[in-house]
Structure 1
Amino acid sequence: MPRYKLTVEYDGRPFCGWQRQANGPSVQAVIERALKSFCGEEVSIGGAGRTDAGVHATGQVCHADLSRSWPARTVMGAVNFHCQPDPVVVLDVEEMHEGFDARFSAIRRSYRYRIHNRIAPLTHQRGLAWHVKAELDAEAMHAAAQEFVGHHDFTTFRHTRCQAKSPEKTLEHFSVHRDGEFVIAECSSRSFLHNQVRSMVGSLRLVGEGKWGAGDITRALQARDRAACGPVAPSDGLYLTRVDYRPVEIDMSEWKDKQARKAVPVCEEDGAP
């Protein structure tokens, strides 16, 4: 079955999150409905990241297996037509090599958080940015954000119901800058814990307001205690912007190695054939 990679953009406000759920509409369900309307069959897609309720994306990635080969432009046009009227759009479609997986082939995920920093209430940006009235020092926030970069135990900055086996992650990049009325935070890592980005940004807001310094971020990290985290930023301003993948030849090689290991008989006893 040919496998397709779909790069997806969506407004997260109407959804309970990326993942299909019984308690409300999801982005995954919208795309799967569109694929069924297009090709007449049930298609289960796999996503690169399970964004939460209200979280947006400009570069989410998923994969779908179809029963026959279609031109990529045909798939994109058909899915976009059938996604209507939901705020979900496929930006690009590629037919991929055997073994590609939107989640497990990924080597980096990048997020952006948008803070609309002004006194007046929001109109056009409502639900698309976090409204913070107090003047924020973006330079201080950037300096403090560097405390997060590197390999750390992020217990303080993950949801108490996070299902990840380990709280340790390696943050590759974290920058904060001002763009007019907006303060933009951007970070990248191979993977993130549940609520990690929103937890880090919420604590950085305290730095921007002058209530915390970089040392407070360090102490919160070292505490390894959820109670040491600052207020968690709302979902409104969070965007999954990009997913990077390992080279095709490496991805195919690792997939073939995995298939070969699965084919080896399991020995019940030492020395058994």
Structure 2
Amino acid sequence: MVSGIVSGRLALVTGAGSGIGRAACQVLSREGATVIAADKDYEAALETIKKHSALASGSNAVGDHSAVELDVSSSKSISELLSKLQRQYKAPPTIIINSAGITRDNWMLKLSEDDFDSVQDVNLKGTFLIMQTFAKALTEASLPGSIVNISSIVAKYGNVGQTNYTASKAGVIGMTKSAAKELGKFNIRVNAILPGFIDTPMVGTIPGKVKENFLKMIPLGRLGDPIEIAEVITFLSSDKSSFVTGATVDVTGGF
């Protein structure tokens, strides 16, 4: 029996196929949670489950962990997932991690409407739909829960070439604070993490010279590791943070 700060809990992680989402699955499972790794790329989600011995190996449901395909921008996809999970686990997840996100970077004067909309659909609307669907399921089951949304430090400060992305991530902060006020009476906590520059595939697309300039602005002098975000995610998912809701936590190396 694995013991840890989230032992015995069921955790849904979106964007679980890489980066922060994959790391969140690893740390949550290490701390005793049963993990549902959800991603639009099912094979990537399955690789997350297979990759870490702390999770499982060899199938999409070794132990009780599972990999699922999910489009967070589709309410139909989300409702079908909830129904599947309630059949499989007999209860909704009590830990919900909104880590799915995309970028479509460009100068504002060149940014297409489609690229603006697609980023809002995944990063902002997707977070909303997941929160709405699974918080409703928790209230109907009279279960407490913890929702952790992944925003970004650029939501506070802006970033060139990312008017669409910063808008979506600033929206996540506002939604988090409002949802925390609405869901507190149901003992559902909602918090947001604002990662700085983390060593993920998304940051890997930044040109080398630009990355060097950012590193000069980070007092700790390095990129963050996804596991360092996942540790904070797991803390916010646990009873160790039982009086924390509506909070935004910067994890940036001092950026």
TM-score of the pair, normalised by structure 1: 0.25
Higher relative contact order (CA 8 A, sep 6+): 1
